[in-house]
């Protein structure tokens, strides 16, 4: 089996990554940064997001494992004290793979420009560079509302505990192939109206955001921030691809949520 390790880059994470690498090499696993079967992320969720984007071209072949070094590590199952146990598990036991839904984002431009496709593990957010964001929101080809406000967030189930949660969105179990649309400070009065509630869209219900005025947009895909000009539309839906995590022991989603947001103690 071939493995790769992504480190957050701080001292603690680097030492841990180095240790795991030499232990795994001792077990005669092969280090392959380009085509790993498993990628171990050492750091926090940011590190895992980075690793996901590094291997997004081979999501069907690379499974992820998270070790967290002092950060929240919602995606991480292991703590530094457990790495010997983890290394033995990786080397000796067949692991289970759990798959979680992803968000597909296609950005199209005016003037026959290229279209760009992205995959997000957490979410995509759209904000206007200048002034109020004004977007027609279409769902399944029908105009739903004209949004005016600070921005919109479209998240995956596993991303629902990140930015989406801060916006008052629901936490979605990742067995649901769905995406969630949440608002950032919408303008609501006699003249302008949006739904106000987060919307959860099933598989194949495409959400299309169409700019009403011609401004530049700040679009984020997970931790990446992009500037897009001449945007014709931003299309969001559940992706065909999934992210795969290598599981060596059960870690139910609601336990993960409880330990991240309520208490680490049982
Ligand atoms: P960051 O500023 O370190 O992320 C903010 C926090 O979100 C960190 O504590 C991070 O955990 C945590 N986080 C990331 N993904 C999560 C998930 N799926 N469930 C629960 N918590 C999660 O930046 P980053 O590490 O590069 O992460 C980028 C993410 O930050 C974005 O995808 C977005 O979701 C989130 N974000 C949140 C807000 C907000 O809540 N107002 C604003 C902007 C961005 P770690 O400490 O383990 O990294
Ligand atoms: Mn982080």
Looking at the structure, tell me whether residues 221 and 113 fall in a common domain: yes
163 within a domain of the structure (yes/no): yes
Residues of the chain with pLDDT under 50: none
By DSSP bridging, strand 178-186 and strand 142-155 are antiparallel
Strands (E), the chain: 2-7, 30-31, 38-43, 63-68, 96-109, 116-120, 123-128, 133-139, 142-155, 178-186, 199-202, 207-211, 217-221, 224-228, 231-247
Distance of CA 89 to the CA centre of its chain: 26
Distance of CA 259 to the CA centre of its chain: 19
CA gap 174, 102 in Å, rounded: 10
**Number of independent structural domains in the chain:** 2
148 is in an annotated binding site: yes
CB atoms within 10 A of CB 259: 16
What are the CA-CA distances from residue 136 to residues 145, 150, 152 (Å)?
A: 6, 14, 11
Ligand 2 center from residue 165 Cα (angstroms): 16
Average pLDDT of the chain is 96
CATH of the domain at 214: 2.60.200.30
147 within a domain of the structure (yes/no): yes
266 within a domain of the structure (yes/no): no
70 is in an annotated binding site: no
Looking at the structure, tell me whether residues 47 and 108 fall in a common domain: no
Looking at the structure, tell me whether residues 111 and 44 fall in a common domain: no
CATH of the domain at 35: 3.40.50.10330
> Looking at the whole model, is its pTM more than 0.85?
yes
> Does ligand 1 have an atom closer than 6 angstroms to the CB of 120?
no
By DSSP bridging, strand 38-43 and strand 63-68 are parallel
Q: Return the pLDDT at 264.
A: 81
Measured at the CA of 257, the angle between CA 251 and CA 263, to 5 degrees, comes to: 100
Looking at the structure, tell me whether residues 15 and 131 fall in a common domain: no
- Residues whose CB is less than 8 angstroms from the CB of residue 89 and which lie 6 or more positions away in sequence, other chains included: 95, 248, 249
185 within a domain of the structure (yes/no): yes
Ligand 1 pocket mutation pick from 46, 54, 64, 121 by most atoms within 8 angstroms of CB = 46
Catalytic residues: 45
In ligand 1, the atom with minimum distance to the C-alpha of 155 is 34
Q: Return the pLDDT at 266.
A: 67
CA gap 156, 181 in Å, rounded: 9
> Does ligand 1 have an atom closer than 6 angstroms to the CB of 73?
yes
Ligand 2 center from residue 173 Cα (angstroms): 22
Looking at the structure, tell me whether residues 165 and 208 fall in a common domain: yes
126: its two tokens: 């759209």
Q: Return the pLDDT at 70.
A: 81
Looking at the structure, tell me whether residues 49 and 29 fall in a common domain: yes
Q: Which long-range contacts (CB under 8 A, 24 or more apart) does 78-86 make?
A: 80/12, 80/16, 83/16, 83/19, 83/20, 83/23, 84/23, 86/20, 86/248
159 within a domain of the structure (yes/no): yes
Looking at the structure, tell me whether residues 59 and 107 fall in a common domain: no
107: its two tokens: 């950005």
Looking at the structure, tell me whether residues 236 and 117 fall in a common domain: yes
The residue nearest atom 44 of ligand 1, judged by CA position, is: 163
Q: Return the pLDDT at 71.
A: 82
Starting from the CA of residue 163, give the closest ligand.
Answer: 1
Q: Return the pLDDT at 221.
A: 98
Looking at the structure, tell me whether residues 170 and 198 fall in a common domain: yes
Full domain range(s) for residue 117: 102-240
Q: Return the pLDDT at 114.
A: 83
29 within a domain of the structure (yes/no): yes
Q: What is the pLDDT of residues 30-78, one digit of tens each?
A: 999 999 999 999 999 999 999 999 999 999 999 999 999 988 899 999 9
Contact of 93 with 68, CB cutoff 8 Å? no
> Does ligand 1 have an atom closer than 6 angstroms to the CB of 72?
yes
83 within a domain of the structure (yes/no): yes
């Amino acid at each position: 089996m071939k493995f790769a390790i992504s480190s957050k880059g701080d001292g603690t994470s680097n030492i841990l990554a180095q240790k795991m690498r030499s232990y795994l090499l001792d077990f005669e696993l092969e280090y392959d940064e380009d085509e790993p079967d498993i990628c171990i992320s050492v750091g926090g969720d940011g590190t895992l997001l980075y690793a996901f984007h590094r291997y997004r071209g081979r999501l069907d072949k690379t499974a992820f494992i998270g070790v967290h070094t002092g950060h929240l590590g919602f995606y991480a199952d292991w703590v530094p004290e457990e790495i010997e146990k983890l290394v033995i598990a990786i080397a000796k036991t067949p692991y289970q793979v759990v798959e979680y839904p992803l968000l597909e984002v296609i950005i199209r431009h005016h003037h026959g420009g290229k279209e760009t496709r992205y995959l997000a593990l957490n979410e995509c957010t759209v904000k206007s560079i200048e002034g109020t964001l004004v977007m027609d929101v279409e769902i399944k080809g029908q105009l739903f509302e004209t949004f005016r406000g600070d921005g919109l967030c479209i998240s995956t189930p596993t991303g629902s505990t990140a930015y989406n949660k801060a916006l008052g969105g629901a936490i979605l179990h990742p067995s649901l192939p769905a995406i969630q649309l949440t608002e950032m400070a919408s303008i609501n009065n006699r003249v302008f109206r949006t739904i106000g509630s987060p919307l959860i869209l099933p598989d194949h219900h495409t959400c299309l955001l169409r700019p009403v005025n011609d401004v530049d947009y700040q679009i984020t895909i997970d931790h990446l921030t992009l500037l897009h000009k001449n945007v014709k539309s931003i299309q969001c839906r559940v992706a065909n691809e999934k992210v795969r995590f290598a599981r060596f022991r059960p870690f139910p989603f609601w336990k993960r949520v409880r330990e991240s947001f309520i208490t680490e103690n049982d």
